[in-house]
Structure 1
C-alpha cells in the first residue's frame, strides 16, 4: 500500500515505515503530524485518484528531527569586470517517519 501526498507544495510517494525528508515544518522532535492532502492511494491494486484529493484518507507520521541538506555552491561572475561572488546554501529539512495510511 502506498500513497502520494502533498507536503508543503511538494509531492511524495510514501509507504508505511518510510523516512521522508520534507521541507522544514513547525514542530518538535517526537511530535506527530497528519497530512490530509492525499492525491492518490493504491491498496493492493485498487487505485483511488482524488479530484483533487482523496476524501477520508489521512497519512500520519512522526517528526524525527530537523536536518540540513548538502551544501550547494552559488557562484556568480561577470567577465572583464572583476566581479566574482561565491556563496553557499544548505536547505533545511524535517525528517518524518510515516507511521500509518488510513
Structure 2
C-alpha cells in the first residue's frame, strides 16, 4: 500500500479538513471504491452528459468522470462541480493504470 500525501497547499476552491482515505480500483471492470463504499458513476455521467466508464492514471474523460463521482460523494453538487477538475489532477491522473489499493490524503468538508 503506497501513500500519496498532498503538497499541503490548498486552493481557494478546495478548503476543508485533510483525511487519510482508502482508494481502491478494479481496472478491468472499471469499478472504484472510496473507504470501502462503491462509487456510482450515474450522477456524474448525467452531469457530464457522457456514457464513459471510470478511468484513472491518465487525463481522460473517464478520469474526469471518476473525479466528479468522488467529489459528488464527498461534497454537495455545486462544490463538486467547482473542484472536480482540480481533484482529478491531484488524485486521479497519477493512480496506477491497474488494480490498486492505497491511502491518499483528501480534503473533506
> Is this a same-fold pair by TM over 0.5?
no
* Greater RCO (Cα-Cα under 8 Å, separation 6 or more): 2
Q: TM-score, normalised by structure 1?
A: 0.29
Q: TM-score, normalised by structure 2?
A: 0.28
Whichever of the two has the greater Rg, that structure is: 1
Bigger strand fraction: 1
Bigger helix fraction: 2
